[in-house]
Every structure is written in C-alpha cells, then in structure tokens.
Amino acid sequence: MKETLGTTGLVLNEPLLWEKGKKGRTGFSLPRRDVDPAPVDEALLGEGPDFPDLSEVDVVRHYTRLSTWNFGVDTGMYPLGSCTMKYNPKTNERQARLPGLAGAHPLLPPELSQGVLQLMFEMEQFLAEITGMDAVTLQPAAGAHGELTGMLVMHAYHESKGHRPTKIIVPDTAHGTNPSSAALCGYRPVPVASNDQGVLSPESVSEIMDEHTAGIMVTNPNTLGLFEENIRAIAEIVHAKGGLVYCDGANLNAVMGIVKMGEIGIDVMHLNLHKTFSTPHGGGGPGSGPVAVKAPLEPFLPVPRVIREGDEFRLSYDFPRSIGKVQAFFGNVGVIIKAYSYILSMGPENLKKASQLAVLNANYIMERLKGIFHLPYDRPCMHECVFSDKNQKGHKVTTLDIAKRLMDYGFHPPTVYFPLVVDGAIMIEPTETECKEDLDRFIEAMTSIAREAEENRELLTNAPARPRMRRLDETAAARKPCLVG
C-alpha cells in the first residue's frame, strides 16, 4: 500500500444519548406480567435517574460511533516513546478472564486459592530469573508505586544498619517519578548530569557520592534510550560508600533475557508488567509494579508473601522486618495472570527475541531518519530513539507541529518534549510488534513532514487537518476540560 494511512474516512458525528432519546423507546422486552402488582411504599420512592428512552440500535450505534473516534494499538502504529504502547497477544486477556481466576475472591482461604497462589509463587520465580535478582514481591500496583516500595525497602535496610542517610542521587535521564518516590521516603534528590554520550560517568557519581547518600536511582536503559554502560563501575562507587543501587526497570523490554540486573550491581528494582509483559499501557491502569531485590534486602519486602510448604501454598505475615503492606489484598492479580501467561507462552528464547526486535526496530528508524531530523546522541540506541526539532526550527516549525502533522498521515504522535535533557525532544518507540512495512510507512511520513517544513510550513502549523478533531488549545483543554461534547 503506497497511499498514506491518514484519511478523514466516514467518521460520523454523534449527539449525546439524552439528545437521541424519545419517550417510549425501549431496548428490551419483558414477558407479560402474570402476577398481581405489589405497590411499593411511597416513602421509599424518590426521584429516578434521568435516563433517556433508547432503542437497542440507538445504543449500539452511539457507542460504535464513539469508538471510531479513538486511536489505539489495535488501530495502528502508536510510537509513544518511554511508554511501550505495543500490541499484546489477546490470548493473555482470555486467560485472565477464566472464571476460576477472575471470580476468585481475595478473602478465600488458602485451601481454596491454591491455583492463584501457585501462579503468584511461580511468577515471582520467573521475574527473579529474568532479572537475576533473589526475591520478588508482586504487591505494588504500578510503576511509581513500585518505586516507592523499593525506596521504602532501601530505607528499612539502612535503618537496620543504623544508617541515617539523607540524600539520593537521581540522574537527569531518570524517569520523572523517581525524585518524587525518593522524596516521599524522606530523601533529598541530588541531580547528576549525564555526559556527552548521554550516559552517566563514574567520575560524576564519585564526586557527589558520600556516606550521607542512601544510593542512586538509575533508569536503565535511560530515558534517552541508551544503556548505562558504566553501571558496574558506578555500583562499585556507591557500594563502597555504603549506598544501594536502585534500577528503574520500566524499560526492561529492551534488555529482557539479555541483561541480568542482579549481576551488574543492582540491589533493588521495579518492573512494569503493564509495559513489558502483555498488559496494555496507558489509560490509567490497572498496572502492576513488582519489586525485585538481592538477598540482603529480602527480609524487608512487603507482606504477606507467598510461601510454599511441601505441595501447599499459603500467605505468610511472618517476616518481622518487613515494611508491611503496601496495597489492599495481594496486588493486581489480573495483570499478573496476563504476564504469567505471556512469559509461559513466549519462553526464554522468545522473551529475548522480543527485546532484540524492539532494539532492532528503534535503530532502523534512527538510522533512516538520521540527518533528516537532528539526533542529539548519534550512537546505537536501545528500544527507543530521541530526535529534536533543531533542523526544522529554522523554518519556524516545532516538535508539536511535527507531532500534529503525523496524525494526518495516520500515526499516533510520539512522545514530545521528553526527556527534558533534549530541547524539543521527539521520542520514538516502535516496539517489537511493528513489521518492516509499517516502520517504512512511518519513516516515509516523517520524511514527507520534514520536506513540508521547508516547502509549506502551514501544512504543519495548521495540522491536524484530517482527524475529526482539529488542533486543541492544549492549555485550556487541560485546565478547563469540556467532557460533554
């Protein structure tokens, strides 16, 4: 297909249900009553909800039309850097909906929950194997919650040693939630700049690491899409001063099955099951942010923990140095089931291959667009690549204009203006699930946009022109959202 994917198509307007309703319409039929009516006590009656009268076809068309206004990974390429908006096998959704799992109440006694408990126990073993760590908790509800849990574990560890550190080092290429998680545990985030290669240098960490510093929070691969290649040397510097190394493992999908974080100096890390292991990311959840630790930190993991006694599984609170509970019940089990199903269906070799393909796809895009768009760090990337609008600024075209114009070509815009260390950043993450033909269409669209910036900039500054909604006042849309049409 040589034509662009972008089109206005047959997108239908749709009024509110209250505007469509007509008195007397109904979407269902009840059988004729064959018993006498039983009047309700008037004192129990009140004003009913203001529901419109609608036929079945009214309702079906309403929601079907609304669904055509959306764009998602089931519609087309969604190259949202740092967020891993990949297509996930639908079979994993099916396993999570199996009645015996979806209907299991968290208050069931262990003897009636052996299947779920065994699944959670084995899932912890899988994640420990994948990361090279010694123990895992599945309890945190999302990535940032995992960060907080990991920081609490670090805090408890230092306290058990009689340490009272006050600071933590956070690189400028870390995820934005890292400083907040550290601050919530009472630590003062101390920034450290990456070097001209886009990664941390041991020398810069050595300059600020001291006995008053709890450790370092490293996002690896970092938000520039680069692997922190000096991490072993950095870990030695931090450990020598009594600190710990935290790894934000949200980008594990670039190194899954390839790098064992436990063998390169990491003491504690969190994962995002909803980015890496087959749960759609974005839209507000649910997510899952398991935390993995090395053996010295295991006593501080949250309770309850799933333990095995012979052939039986049960939940145990008998961990006196635990930081306690961090979530109601035992974690977002539905997300854990999907990840468990994904890992089993892929196997070790295909998990590794998924990471390799994600890295290959990102590097393919980077190499094809290099020179057309400014590449601030011209070196092999991991699962995402970061350009800037430096080459287009001379034509008074910005990153936002480029992102809006991509919508006219039928692609969801990439992440823009992040990471903050790149002025006018355009972060692209194709993921492992896009084929070469789709990558080529995306590259052709970006190339055309760069040409339009030189020849007809209004096409970009007035974009998007094809989707149902034109360019919004993003500040007003955020501060004064209109949610009724």
What is d(CA 26, CA 112) in angstroms, rounded to the nearest whole number?
43
- Cα torsion 71, 76, 82, 84 to 10°: value is 100
Tell me the average pLDDT across 71-94: 91
The pLDDT of residue 2: 67
Number of H helices, E strands in the chain: 16, 12
Higher pLDDT, 62 or 68: 62
Neighbours of 286 (CB within 10 A): 15
Among all chains, which residue has been given the structure tokens 């997300």?
335
The pLDDT of residue 481: 84
What is d(CA 148, CA 180) in angstroms, rounded to the nearest whole number?
9
The pLDDT of residue 1: 60
Digit-coded pLDDT (tens) for 326-364: 998 989 999 999 999 999 999 999 999 999 999 999 999
Q: What angle do CA 115, 118, 122 make, to 5 degrees?
A: 140
- Ranges 82-86, 100-104, 136-140, 356-360: which has the least confidence: 82-86
- Across all residues in the chain, what is the average pLDDT? 94
Beta bridge partners of 80: 428
Tell me the average pLDDT across 38-44: 91
Q: What are phi and psi of 300, to 5 degrees?
A: -100, 0
Residues 391 and 373: beta-carbon distance below 8 Å:
yes
Is residue 419 reached through a cis peptide bond, with omega within 30 degrees of 0 on the bond before it? Answer: yes
Residue 24 pLDDT greater than 70, yes or no: yes
Query: Which two tokens mark 413?
Result: 């815009």
Beta bridge partners of 374: 388
Digit-coded pLDDT (tens) for 107-151: 999 999 999 999 999 999 999 999 999 999 999 999 999 999 999
Alpha-carbon 480 to chain mean position: 26
The pLDDT of residue 484: 63
What is d(CA 339, CA 455) in angstroms, rounded to the nearest whole number?
48
The pLDDT of residue 201: 97
Neighbours of 481 (CB within 10 A): 8
Residues 270 and 143: beta-carbon distance below 8 Å:
yes
What is d(CA 92, CA 103) in angstroms, rounded to the nearest whole number?
17
The pLDDT of residue 280: 82
What is d(CA 212, CA 164) in angstroms, rounded to the nearest whole number?
7
pLDDT above 90: percentage of residues in the chain: 85
Digit-coded pLDDT (tens) for 227-267: 999 999 999 999 999 999 999 999 999 999 999 999 999 99
Burial class (CB in 10 A: 0-12, 13-18, 19+), 447: middle
Tell me the average pLDDT across 193-206: 97
Residue 152: which of 252, 266, 293, 264 has the closest Cα?
Answer: 293
**Residues whose CB is less than 8 angstroms from the CB of residue 415 and which lie 6 or more positions away in sequence, other chains included:** 80, 81, 82, 83, 425, 426, 427, 428, 429
Q: Which residues of 72-103 are buried (b: 16+ CB within 10 A; e: fewer)?
A: ebeebbbbbbbbbbbbbeeebbebbeeeebee
Residue 252: which of 126, 434, 130, 343 has the closest Cα?
Answer: 130
pLDDT band at 6 (very low <50, low <70, confident <90, very high): confident
The pLDDT of residue 30: 87
Tell me the residue length of the chain.
485
Helix (H) or strand (E) holding 91: helix 91-96
Residues 368 and 446: beta-carbon distance below 8 Å:
no
Residues 57 and 22: beta-carbon distance below 8 Å:
no
What is d(CA 366, CA 245) in angstroms, rounded to the nearest whole number?
30
Digit-coded pLDDT (tens) for 419-463: 999 999 999 999 999 999 999 999 999 999 999 999 999 999 999
Residues 301 and 325: beta-carbon distance below 8 Å:
no
Among all chains, which residue has been given the structure tokens 């920034």?
191
What is d(CA 343, CA 331) in angstroms, rounded to the nearest whole number?
18
H helices of 210-332, in order, are 231-240, 273-276
Q: DSSP letter string over 107-121?
A: TS-GGG-HHHHHHHH
Residues 331 and 141: beta-carbon distance below 8 Å:
yes
Tell me the average pLDDT across 258-285: 90
The pLDDT of residue 229: 97
Q: What angle do CA 429, 432, 434 make, to 5 degrees?
A: 85
Phi-psi map region of 9: left, alpha, beta (phi>0 left; psi -120 to 50 alpha) = left
Residue 53 pLDDT greater than 70, yes or no: yes
